[in-house]
């Protein structure tokens, strides 16, 4: 287990190094940030002066050493737009994205497990068929169409939910801005988290259903029936427990998709999180922010995947770690 | 008896404060990039300045001047103007406002990269007493008062010693603010929202404004911003896309207010890049082939004014005789006469997120020029990249919008029409390659001319020469649009410069 | 291997089984309907230049006079069956060309995915050992970053790096490459698992004993036996690629307005949500959703009836 962990760490380092090299290339070669920051009547000479001050005229090598040294100290440079250390800016927006993703995950768990199990144990039931058909439709409707549709229906026509932003937030532990603790914050969460959840729900319902079907056909479930165990016990304890493994694995991988989809959701609902921050940074050619985002998101992916692997190893100790491709 | 009296006072206080307690939730497409009023000369900065600072004087809706921190002014001689300053005005920090603050602010303005050009002409300021100053200019100018609308006195004692203007840097002034304005910033999250509370000691007690809190959000997407207004999450938004105006008009509890702006959108035809464009007939043909009316009608949905010149309606250079012409046959004939009957290929660039529907207008122009066999290779770019390309003059036709900072025709002529001259800053945005020394002389003399009638004649002459030579292709003046709930009386506080005076806003 | 626990039992599908499957297919009305619609889309996309009433790329046919005309059944204007957009372009023509573009992007991207995936999957499965470990590790990492994420980051940066001007010319190639290169692991894993299963089988041993080279064994003997899972992945992946392209277009990272795919048509249409010109948004959206839906239904049907195991994890 220790070797496994060490190897995982080594791999994580390799991945992070690759990401940081990409980040430098971006930092180094992204458009000219100076021109768009100045107003309409600034002369070329003055622009050149700003370039000089900002160090854009140094050689590539100088810029590179500077960057590498700073990143090692956790300094990604100062965001041109926010005028604050890029890492701080990103970490400040992290709670918003995290809470959005977290709520979506909760919704996915609450909905997909009962639906998936039901569709598996009563495959012929009309409701189950309806569930499966709507999951196919759900798979076919792009998330941004869902988002706009929800926004239009519930916010504008029915006026049940707020249409943008996070609403009131409370500062907890001195660093974390949470929207979970205010009614206003929660109501702002509804639409974005539902559209994010809807994007991934169909996949999980289908996954749980098919895993469940497979397990239900396995020998030991047949044996459990023969033993005369109660259906509830068979379904929820024996069968479902055994579907957890692949679901956790895939769930871990879907964190990446989830983060990608937060970019879309945040754009639609003007959610002040990391995703919309990234797109803004790209539009403003705010290169310190872009590279910091890449490194932070890269770290999130690497950590979440390593965690999933560890959980997997914990739940299923029989797994041969060597065959993980290590 | 005393108790009753007290009770009544208390009650009346309660009622008063009840009528004096309104929170304004507003959303716009961009927030000021810095709290430093001198870091960037942008719409966002000026909008913020009108909230947290006060100018010496400001434009009313009819383009006359309203005294603010200056109570009166008079001309002493050709180069000197005397301003009396308002007494008993206090900054947010508690410091009292006086002449030193104005002198300090002008000095800082003259060191600001972006504002320097505007304030170049001010030689120095003579302090007469604590609330009276003489402003002395290098050359005589008809536009000194226009300039004073950009002078927002800063708190000298608050800023001094830590007042570096650092572009995109983490300076003191970019994070802290002390002005005399009606609102004080309580919290700010760049790119997302700013919160203001009303300045309890605001000097303008006559103002009927009753907004005591502003929650200022930034929503970039037009549709989402409108959704926020329609769903009741915000009370006041701007801008509104012309496309969405029918929807706004349909809602009974939402009011839509539009005003013509003075920002002119036009095309620059680069004569240095293309031999064909040196030919006046070709330029005239292009002008005739482009149908400004239909662009305004179909793309701007009528929320614009078709243009045939650079000067807006209330600018001195405006000529009523110049109206948009669309004559396809004449255009084809001119092309024939110029020897380009078979047309030619040409490149064009336009921004896609700078002006209202810039990309759609550019596409429509492509189609219009195809009718006189000019095949346009159009590229549209986000503004950050577009202005780099503009500096390089990368295409034969380039789109540009220009808002005259001084609300005067000559500002446009100086930057767009005058021969490029890096030293004087003339023609910095001239991407048409047109250079007419005659016209340059007239532009220069218009800068000094104090006799209004002569000046009008000069400016109008310039305008008509530009039209004759078809130097550029004017397209339209965009209209500004604001949307608000019915109980928010935005009509009285908005203006064509797009700086809402929210201090005077009344919410019923 | 967490996925190798479930080994595949893929029998070579005989002609008779195909016939059986086909008969089963014909009796499933929903599946037949889906196939008919899908074929209709393909035909229409192929023939777009022939059947479209106008050429949407030609500015000659853009006339502001005709902008925002409602579809025929509302406006009665027979020139424009589905109405026109804000530039006066015929919506039917732009949708036809857009479908063509979306399908081509999807198809080409998936061909790249499949080519790369099959090659790596076969190599990894057959060679085993370190090479296998290396490839599967790469697949893990690649998958954990999610296609959308990679595509968004890569395209956004590419666009800023080289300017949107340059980007507009290369948009289609970039989209195909990004979507194509980011999703190979799905193919690779499925193929690898099949190869591992097949390798155990006697006929492979027999072939090896007969002195047939590994390449020949892989392509002649093993690959044909993995056809049914490939077919399923192929269908679903094209649908996914089209959705991915649409999402990227929504973020402004897809096809340019001058050459719109279905996704960019929808994203242009979104600014008309409030304008009353609903058709500019709704019709392309419905076209896209229907296309994806029938492809997913077909994919589902194939999966249920060919019963392959797909290694998404």
Question: How would you label B467-486 residue by residue, b for 16+ Cβ within 10 Å and e otherwise?
Answer: beebbbbbbbbbbbbbbbbe
Place of tokens 């109980």: B487
Please tell me if residue A46 touches chain B, with a CB cutoff of 8 Å: yes
- Among all residues of chain A, which has the CA nearest to that of C307? A210
Instruction: Give the closest-approach CA distance of A218 to chain B in angstroms.
Output: 51
Over 80: is that where the pLDDT of A280 sits? yes
Give me the total of CB pairs closer than 8 Å, taking one residue from chain A and one from chain C.
121
Q: Per CATH, is C28-42+91-305 categorized as 3.30.1330.10?
A: no
Instruction: Convert the pLDDT of each residue in A151-173 to its tens digit.
Output: 888 887 788 888 788 877 777 77
Name the B residues in 414-443 with CB < 8 Å from any A CB.
Answer: 415, 422, 425, 428-429
Phi/psi for B125 (5° steps) reads -120, 130
Is the predicted pLDDT of residue A318 greater than 90, yes or no? Answer: no
8 Å CB contact of B379 and C276? no
- For residue A246, list chain C residues with Cβ-Cβ distance below 8 A: 2, 313
B29 touching chain C per CB within 8 A: no
pLDDT band at C313 (very low <50, low <70, confident <90, very high): very low
Residue of C nearest to B371 (CA): C60
Interhelix angle for C262-269 vs C279-306, to 10°? Answer: 140
Select from B241, B294, B366 the Cβ nearest to the Cβ of C59. Answer: B366
pLDDT, tens digit (0-9, with 9 covering 90-100), for C198-236 = 777 777 777 777 777 777 777 777 777 777 778 888 888
pLDDT band at C307 (very low <50, low <70, confident <90, very high): low
Higher pLDDT, B10 or A52: A52
Query: Is residue A70 pLDDT above 90, yes or no?
Result: no
Q: How far are the Cα atoms of A242, A302, B296, B343, B368 from residue A255, in angstroms, in the given order?
A: 21, 10, 47, 56, 49
Against chain B, the chains showing at least 3 CB pairs within 8 Å are: A, C
Mutation site, C3, C4, C29, C145, interface A, largest A CB count within 10 A: C145
Q: List the chains bordering chain A where 3 or more Cβ pairs fall under 8 Å.
A: B, C
B35 or A69, greater pLDDT: B35
- What was the pLDDT predicted at B17? 45
- Tell me which residue in A46, A78, A155 faces B231 most closely, judged by beta carbons: A155
Tokens of C303: 């999966």
Check CB contact of C127 with chain A, cutoff 8 Å. Answer: no
For the segment C51-87, what is each residue's pLDDT rounded down to a tens digit? 888 887 776 667 777 777 778 787 777 777 788 887 7
Give A209's pLDDT tier (boundaries 50, 70, 90): confident
Chain C: residue whose CA lies nearest to B379: C165
- Please answer yes or no on whether B389 and C165 come within 8 Å at the CB atom: yes
Report pLDDT for B298. 86
Top residue of A163, A191, A278, A280 to mutate, by most chain B CBs within 10 Å, is A163
**CB contact (8 A) between residue B428 and residue A41:** yes
User: Quick one: pLDDT at residue A24?
Assistant: 78
What is the C-alpha to C-alpha distance for residues C136 and C188, in angstroms, rounded to an integer?
9
Does residue A325 register a pLDDT over 50?
no
Cβ separation of B193 and A165 shorter than 8 Å?
Answer: yes
Record: contact C247-A142, CB cut-off 8 A: yes
- A37 and B42 within 8 Å at the Cβ level: the answer is no
- The correct CATH number of A86-324 out of 3.30.420.10, 1.10.645.10, 1.20.1250.20, 1.10.3720.10 is 1.10.3720.10
Distance between CA atoms of residues B319 and B461, nearest Å: 9
Rounded average pLDDT over C11-17: 60
**pLDDT score at A148:** 85
Q: Where are the alpha helices (DSSP H) in chain C?
A: 15-27, 29-46, 48-51, 72-75, 91-127, 129-144, 147-182, 184-199, 202-209, 214-216, 227-250, 262-269, 279-306
Taking CA–CA distances from A35, the nearest residue in chain B reads B388
State which residues of chain B have pLDDT below 70: 1-20, 168-169, 384
Q: What is the mean pLDDT of chain A?
A: 79
Chain C hits for A143, CB-CB cut-off 8 Å, are 247
Give the model confidence (pLDDT) of C118-177 as tens digits.
888 888 887 777 888 888 888 877 777 778 888 888 888 887 777 666 777 788 898 999
Q: Give the burial class of C290: count Cβ atoms within 10 A of its Cβ; 0-12 exposed, 13-18 middle, 19 or more buried.
A: middle
Supply the pLDDT for residue A60. 67
The whole-number pLDDT of residue B13 equals: 46
| Residue C68 backbone phi and psi in degrees, to 5 | 55, 45
Question: In chain A, whose CA is at the least distance from the CA of C263?
Answer: A142
C-alpha separations of A122 from A112, A127, A213, C115 in Å: 15, 9, 10, 39
Residue with tokens 């949708």: C95
> Exposed/middle/buried for B100, CB within 10 Å: 0-12, 13-18, 19+?
middle
Which of B33, B113, B227 is closest, CB to CB, to A156? Answer: B227
Q: What pLDDT was estimated at residue C306?
A: 75
A78 and B CB contact within 8 Å: yes
Phi, psi of A315 (to 5 degrees): -70, -40
Q: What is the mean pLDDT of residues A35-47?
A: 60
Rounded distance between C-alpha atoms, residue C265 and residue C298, angstroms: 25
Residue A48 confidence (pLDDT) above 70: yes
Instruction: Sketch the domain layout of chain C as residue ranges.
Output: 28-42+91-305
Q: What is the mean pLDDT of chain C?
A: 80
Q: What percent of chain A is modeled with pLDDT above 90?
A: 7
Q: Report the pLDDT value the prediction gives residue B219, as an integer from 0 to 100.
A: 87
Which one of C58, C165, C168, C170 makes the best mutation probe of the B interface by having the most chain B beta carbons within 10 Å?
Answer: C165
Judged against a pLDDT cut of 60, whether residue A61 lies above it is answered with yes
What 3-state class would DSSP assign to B187?
strand
DSSP string, C222-285: IGGGGHHHHHHHHHHHHHHHHHHHHHHHHTT-SS-TTS--HHHHHHHHGGGTTTS-THHHHHHH
Give the CB-side neighbour count of residue C187, counting CA atoms within 13 A: 28
Distances B466 to A181, B283, B309, B414, C218 between C-alpha atoms, Å? 63, 11, 8, 13, 75
Of the residues B298, B365, B373, B384, the best mutation for testing chain C's interface (the one with the most C CB atoms within 10 Å of its CB) is: B298
Residue C312 has pLDDT above 50, yes or no: no
Asked if B389 and C59 come within 8 Å (Cβ–Cβ), the reply is no
Q: Does B366 touch chain C (CB under 8 A)?
A: yes
Residue C311 reports pLDDT greater than 70: no
Query: What confidence tens digit (pLDDT) does each residue in A91-113 have?
Result: 888 899 989 999 999 999 899 88
Of B92, B170, B81, nearest to B126 by C-alpha is B81
Q: Is B345 on the interface with C (CB under 8 A)?
A: no
Q: Which residue of C has its CA nearest to A313?
A: C2
- Please give the pLDDT value at position B334: 94
**pTM (predicted TM-score):** 0.81
Over the stretch A250-278, which tens digit does the pLDDT of each residue have? 777 788 888 888 988 998 888 888 988 88
Looking at residue A62, its pLDDT comes to 72
Q: Which residue of A has its CA nearest to B354?
A: A36
Least CA distance to B362: which residue of chain C? C87
pLDDT for the residue numbered B14: 46
Closest CA to B181 of B53, B44, B349, B332: B53
Which chain B positions have a beta carbon within 8 Å of C62's beta carbon? 363-364, 366-367, 370
């Amino acid at each position: 287990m220790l070797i496994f962990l060490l190897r995982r760490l080594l791999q994580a380092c390799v991945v992070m190094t690759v990401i940081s090299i990409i980040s430098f290339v971006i930092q180094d070669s992204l458009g000219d940030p100076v021109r768009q920051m100045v107003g309409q009547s600034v002369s070329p000479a003055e622009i050149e002066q700003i370039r000089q001050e900002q160090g854009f005229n140094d050689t590539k090598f100088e810029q590179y050493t500077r960057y590498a040294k700073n990143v090692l100290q956790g300094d990604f440079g100062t965001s041109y737009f926010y005028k604050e250390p890029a890492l701080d800016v990103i970490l400040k927006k992290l709670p918003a994205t995290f809470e959005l993703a977290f709520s979506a995950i909760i919704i996915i768990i609450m909905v997909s497990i009962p639906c998936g199990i039901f569709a598996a144990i009563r495959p012929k039931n009309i409701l189950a068929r309806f569930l499966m058909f709507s999951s196919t439709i759900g798979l076919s409707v792009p998330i941004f169409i869902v988002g706009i549709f929800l926004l239009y229906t519930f916010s504008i026509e029915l006026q049940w939910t707020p249409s943008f932003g996070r609403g009131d937030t409370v500062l907890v532990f001195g660093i974390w801005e949470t929207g979970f603790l205010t009614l206003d914050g929660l109501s702002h969460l509804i639409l974005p988290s539902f559209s994010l959840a809807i994007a991934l729900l169909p996949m999980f319902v289908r996954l749980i259903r098919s895993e469940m079907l497979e397990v239900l056909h396995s020998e030991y479930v047949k044996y459990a029936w023969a033993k005369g165990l109660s259906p509830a016990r068979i379904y929820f304890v024996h069968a479902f427990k055994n579907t957890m493994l692949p679901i956790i694995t895939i769930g871990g991988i879907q964190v990446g998709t989830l983060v990608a989809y937060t970019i879309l959701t945040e754009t639609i609902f003007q959610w002040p999180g990391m995703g919309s921050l990234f797109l803004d940074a790209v539009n403003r050619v705010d290169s310190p922010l872009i590279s910091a985002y890449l490194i932070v998101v890269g770290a999130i992916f690497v950590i979440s995947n390593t965690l999933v692997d560890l959980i997997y190893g914990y739940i299923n100790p029989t797994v041969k770690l060597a065959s993980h491709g290590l | 008896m005393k108790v009753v009296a007290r009770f009544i006072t208390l009650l009346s206080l309660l009622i008063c404060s009840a009528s004096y307690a309104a929170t304004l939730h507003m959303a716009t497409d961009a927030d000021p990039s810095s709290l430093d009023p001198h870091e960037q000369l942008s719409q966002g900065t000026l909008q913020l300045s009108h909230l947290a600072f006060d100018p010496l004087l400001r434009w009313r809706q009819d383009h006359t001047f309203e005294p603010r921190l200056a109570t009166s002014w008079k001309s002493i001689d050709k180069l000197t103007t005397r301003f009396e300053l308002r007494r008993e005005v206090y900054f947010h920090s508690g410091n009292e406002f006086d002449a030193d603050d104005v002198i300090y602010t002008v000095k800082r303005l003259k060191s600001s990269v972006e504002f320097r050009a505007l304030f170049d002409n001010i030689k120095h300021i003579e302090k007469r007493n604590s609330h009276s100053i003489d402003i002395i200019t290098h050359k005589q100018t008809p536009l000194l008062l226009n300039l004073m609308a950009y002078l927002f006195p800063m708190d000298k004692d608050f800023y001094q010693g830590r007042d570096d203007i650092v572009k995109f840097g983490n300076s003191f002034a970019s994070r802290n603010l002390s002005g005399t304005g009606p609102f004080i910033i309580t919290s700010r999250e760049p790119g997302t929202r700013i919160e203001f509370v009303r300045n309890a000691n605001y000097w303008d007690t006559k103002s009927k404004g009753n907004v005591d809190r502003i929650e200022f959000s930034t929503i970039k997407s037009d549709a989402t911003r409108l959704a926020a207004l329609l769903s009741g999450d915000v009370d006041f938004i701007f801008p509104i896309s012309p496309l969405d105006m029918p929807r706004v008009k349909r809602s009974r509890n939402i009011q839509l207010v539009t005003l013509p702006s003075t920002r002119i959108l036009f095309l620059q035809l680069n004569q240095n890049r293309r031999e064909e464009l040196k030919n006046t007939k070709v330029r005239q043909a292009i002008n005739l082939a482009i149908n400004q009316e239909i662009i305004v009608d179909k793309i701007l949905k009528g929320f614009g004014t078709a243009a045939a010149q650079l000067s807006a309606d209330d600018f001195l250079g405006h000529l009523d005789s110049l109206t948009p012409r669309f004559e396809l046959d004449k255009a084809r004939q001119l092309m024939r006469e110029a020897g380009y009957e078979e047309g030619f290929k040409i490149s064009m660039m336009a921004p896609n997120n700078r002006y209202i529907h810039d990309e759609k207008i550019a596409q429509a122009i492509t189609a219009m020029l195809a009718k006189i066999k000019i095949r346009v290779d159009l590229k549209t770019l986000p503004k950050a990249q577009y202005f780099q390309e503009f500096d390089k003059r990368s295409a034969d036709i380039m789109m540009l919008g220009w808002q005259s900072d001084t609300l005067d025709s000559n500002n446009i002529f100086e930057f767009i029409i005058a021969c490029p001259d890096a030293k004087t800053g003339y023609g910095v945005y001239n991407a048409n390659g047109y250079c007419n020394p005659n016209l340059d002389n007239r532009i220069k003399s218009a800068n000094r001319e104090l006799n209004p009638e002569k000046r009008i004649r000069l400016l109008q002459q310039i305008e008509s020469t530009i039209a004759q030579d078809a130097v550029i292709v004017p397209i339209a003046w965009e209209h500004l649009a604001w949307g608000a709930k019915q109980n928010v009386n935005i009509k009285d506080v908005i203006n064509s410069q797009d700086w809402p005076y929210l201090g005077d806003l009344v919410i019923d | 291997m967490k996925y190798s626990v479930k080994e595949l039992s893929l029998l070579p599908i005989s002609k008779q089984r195909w016939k059986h499957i086909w008969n089963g297919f014909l009796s499933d009305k929903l599946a037949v309907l889906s196939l008919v619609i899908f074929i209709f889309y393909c035909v229409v996309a192929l023939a777009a230049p022939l059947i479209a009433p106008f050429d949407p790329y030609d500015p000659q046919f853009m006339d502001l006079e005709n902008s925002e005309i409602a579809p025929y059944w509302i406006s009665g204007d027979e020139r424009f069956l589905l109405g026109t957009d804000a530039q006066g372009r015929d919506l039917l023509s732009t949708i036809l060309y857009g479908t063509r573009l979306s399908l081509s992007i999807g198809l080409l991207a998936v061909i790249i995915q499949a080519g790369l995936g099959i090659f790596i999957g076969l190599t990894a499965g057959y060679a085993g050992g370190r090479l296998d470990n290396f490839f599967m590790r790469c697949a893990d990492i690649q998958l954990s970053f999610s296609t959308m994420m990679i595509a968004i980051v890569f395209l956004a940066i590419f666009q800023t790096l080289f300017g949107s001007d340059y980007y507009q010319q290369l948009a289609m190639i970039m989209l195909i490459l990004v979507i194509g290169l980011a999703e190979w692991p799905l193919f690779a894993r499925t193929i690898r698992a099949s190869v591992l299963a097949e390798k155990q089988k006697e006929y492979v041993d027999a072939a090896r004993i007969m002195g047939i080279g590994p390449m020949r064994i892989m392509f002649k003997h093993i690959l044909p036996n993995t056809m049914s899972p490939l077919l399923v992945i192929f269908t679903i992946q094209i649908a996914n690629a089209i959705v991915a392209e649409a999402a990227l277009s929504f973020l402004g990272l897809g096809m340019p307005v001058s050459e719109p795919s279905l996704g960019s048509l929808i994203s242009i249409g979104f600014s008309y949500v409030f304008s009353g010109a609903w058709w500019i948004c709704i019709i392309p959206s419905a076209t896209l959703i229907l296309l994806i839906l029938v492809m997913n239904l077909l994919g589902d049907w194939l999966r249920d009836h060919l019963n392959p195991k797909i290694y998404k994890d």
